[in-house]
Every structure is written in structure tokens, then in C-alpha cells.
Structure 1
Amino acid sequence: MEIENLSLEELVELHRKICKRIGELGRAKVSEKLQDFQIGDEISFKHEGNIITGTVIRVNRKSLSVRTREGCWYVDPRCATKISLALKRGMMA
């Protein structure tokens, strides 16, 4: 794409369109990822270098509400990993 010949107004408009499209793609990715989770799922996520585990108590429009030993968290679904049944059994042993 040649942008060297665009005016300032055209560049600003292009920037606005690019930002809008990036936002749409990000929202679509979050919505897609949210479908992987349901209430009761055990998940893990990282916070300040620590791995935290908890239970999904609500699937929100943009995030997961998760209950942990530390309290309740809102977690971006792109940062959450389901804990498999096999892994849970290993943690309990």
C-alpha cells in the first residue's frame, strides 16, 4: 500500500479505520474465546508471575468472573486456560 502521497486528512481517516478494524477483530476474538468456557469450569491464569486457579462463576460479555482462594477476579478469556480433569486428579494426589 502506497501511503507516501496521502494527505494528512487521508492519513487520519486511514488511522481511524485501522483502529476501528483492530477493535472489531479483538472483540470477535474475545467473543469466540468466551464460548470455550462455562460456569463451573476450573481454570488457571497468570497474575504477576504467579499461576492462580479458580472456578468460573459467570461468563460475562467481555470476561470471565472467577472465584479463587484470593477472592473474585475478572479474567480475560484469552488469558485463561481450562484445567483438565486429568490435571485436577494429579493435583489432588
Structure 2
Amino acid sequence: MRIEDMSIDQLLELNQTICRRIDELRDQENLQALSQLRVGLKVTFEGREGPVLGIVTKINRKSVIVLGDDGRKQYKVSPELLRPLRDVK
């Protein structure tokens, strides 16, 4: 069936199906990213002013609280945006 031949009701149903699938995929990505994190882990992410370094202080279902490396600013970040840092020895 061509999209041009679909009724409004059919298009709305298709839209709901697509939105549900997008939500499922995002939830999977979120869970995968969360499984890589733990409190105390050093991470980096791209902030508004550039790269931010920090430490994970709290892990929620859909967000992670990161304390900036300056110890003063906290960030609420989506887990899939965080990249763990490896210790250099």
C-alpha cells in the first residue's frame, strides 16, 4: 500500500506504530548505556560549551547525574550521551 493512498485514520495508526517502535529502540539503547555505568565512574560527554569531564553520582531509569570535574556543577544527562573514561597509567 502506498502512503499516498492511505486514509487519515490509517496514517494515524501507522504513526502510532512508528512512535511505539522508536520508543522501544530508545529504551533498548538507554538500558544498554545504563548497563555500562556505575556510581563513581569517570565519564565525558559533549556539553553546551564543549566536552565535559565528570563523575557519575546517581543513576536513574532515564538519566544520570554527573558531577563536573570542578566539583561545583551537576549535570543531568541521558545515559547514551556518556562515554566512560579509561584510566591512563
**TM-score, normalized by length of structure 2?**
0.87
Question: Does residue 33 in structure 1 map to residue 33 in structure 2?
Answer: yes
Deviation, structure 1 residue 3: 2.4
Aligned counterpart, 1:20: 20
Aligned counterpart, 1:80: 82
Deviation, structure 1 residue 49: 4.1
**Structure 2 alignment gaps of length 5 or more:** none
- CA distance in structure 2 between the partners assigned to 1:46 and 1:4 by the alignment: 40
- CA distance in structure 2 between the partners assigned to 1:60 and 1:18 by the alignment: 26
- CA distance in structure 1 between the partners assigned to 2:45 and 2:36 by the alignment: 15
- CA distance in structure 2 between the partners assigned to 1:38 and 1:83 by the alignment: 12
- CA distance in structure 1 between the partners assigned to 2:78 and 2:31 by the alignment: 11
Report the secondary structure of 1:21's partner residue.
helix
- CA distance in structure 1 between the partners assigned to 2:45 and 2:10 by the alignment: 42
**Structure 1 alignment gaps of length 5 or more:** none
How large is the RMSD of aligned CA atoms in angstroms?
A: 1.5
- CA distance in structure 1 between the partners assigned to 2:5 and 2:44 by the alignment: 49
- CA distance in structure 1 between the partners assigned to 2:58 and 2:30 by the alignment: 15
- CA distance in structure 2 between the partners assigned to 1:46 and 1:10 by the alignment: 40
Deviation, structure 1 residue 76: 1.2
